[in-house]
Amino acid sequence: MKLNGSQILMECLLEQSVDTVFGYPGGSVLNIYDALYKYSERIHHILTAHEQGAAHAADGYARATGKVGVCIATSGPGATNLVTGIATAYMDSVPLVAITGNVGKPLLGKDSFQEVDITGVTMPITKHNYIVKDVRKLADTIRDAFYIASSGRPGPVLIDIPKDITAAECEYTYEEPKKIHRKVCTIKQKDIDEAVKLMKESKKPLIYSGGGIISSGAHKELIEFAEKFQVPVATSLMGIGGFPEIHRLSTGLIGMHGSKASNMAATECDLLIAVGARFSDRVTSSVGTFAPHAKIIHIDVDPAEISKNVASYTAIIGDAKEILISLIQLVGQRDHTEWLEEVAHWKEEFGFDYQRDSSLRPQFIMEEIYKQTEGEAIITTEVGQHQMWAAQFYKYTTPRTYISSGGLGTMGYGTGASIGAQIARADKRVVHIAGDGSFRMNCNELSTVAYYNVPVIIIVVNNSVLGMVRQWQTIFYGGRYSQTNLDRGPDFVKLADAYNIKGYDIFTQEDFKEALKDALKHNRPALLNCHVGEDEKVLPMVAPGAPINDLILE
Peptide bond before 362: cis, by omega within 30 degrees of 0?
Answer: no
H-helix segments, 123-241: 138-150, 163-167, 189-201, 211-215, 219-229
Burial grade of 468 (CB within 10 A; 0-12, 13-18, 19 or more): buried
pLDDT of residue 554: 82
Q: Which domains does the chain have, with CATH numbers?
A: 2-171 (3.40.50.970), 189-349 (3.40.50.1220), 362-538 (3.40.50.970)
pLDDT tens for residues 470-525?
A: 999 999 999 999 999 998 889 999 999 999 999 999 999 999 999 999 999 999 99
Q: Which residues pair with 97 in a beta bridge?
A: 70, 157
pLDDT of residue 332: 85
Q: Averaged over 392-407, what is the pLDDT?
A: 98
Sign of the alpha-carbon dihedral angle for 106, 109, 113, 116: positive
pLDDT tens for residues 53-82?
A: 999 999 999 999 999 999 999 999 999 999
Q: What are the φ/ψ torsions at residue 309 (nearest 5 degrees)? A: -110, -40
Q: Would you say residue 350 has pLDDT above 90? A: no
**How many angstroms from the chain centroid is the CA of residue 483?**
28
CB 132, CB 73: distance < 8 Å: no
| Number of neighbours of residue 364 by Cβ within 10 angstroms | 21
pLDDT of residue 425: 98
CB neighbour list of residue 245: distance below 8 Å, 6 or more residues apart: 235, 252, 395, 396, 397
Q: Averaged over 542-553, what is the pLDDT?
A: 94
E strands in 321-456:
378-381, 402-403, 430-435
Global pTM reads 0.97
CB neighbour list of residue 54: distance below 8 Å, 6 or more residues apart: 22, 23, 24, 46, 48, 71, 72, 73, 82, 85, 416
Q: What are the φ/ψ torsions at residue 440 (nearest 5 degrees)? A: -55, -35
Q: Sorting pLDDT into bands at 50, 70 and 90, what band is 338? A: very high
C-alpha distances out from residue 318 to 151, 232, 375, 440, Å: 12, 23, 32, 41
Q: Would you say residue 533 has pLDDT above 90? A: yes
| Number of neighbours of residue 334 by Cβ within 10 angstroms | 13
pLDDT tens for residues 203-241?
A: 999 999 999 999 999 999 999 999 999 999 999 999 999
CA distance 61 to 45: 13
- 20 DSSP 8-state letter: E
pLDDT of residue 349: 87
CA distance 400 to 361: 26
pLDDT tens for residues 409-428?
A: 999 999 999 999 999 999 99
CA distance 251 to 540: 14
Sign of the alpha-carbon dihedral angle for 387, 390, 393, 398: negative
Q: Which residues pair with 317 in a beta bridge?
A: 300
Three-state DSSP state, 413:
coil
CB 11, CB 174: distance < 8 Å: yes
Average pLDDT taken over every residue of the chain: 97
C-alpha distances out from residue 167 to 31, 38, 51, 109, 134, Å: 7, 15, 23, 20, 11
So which residues are the catalytic ones?
A: 51, 113-114, 163, 468
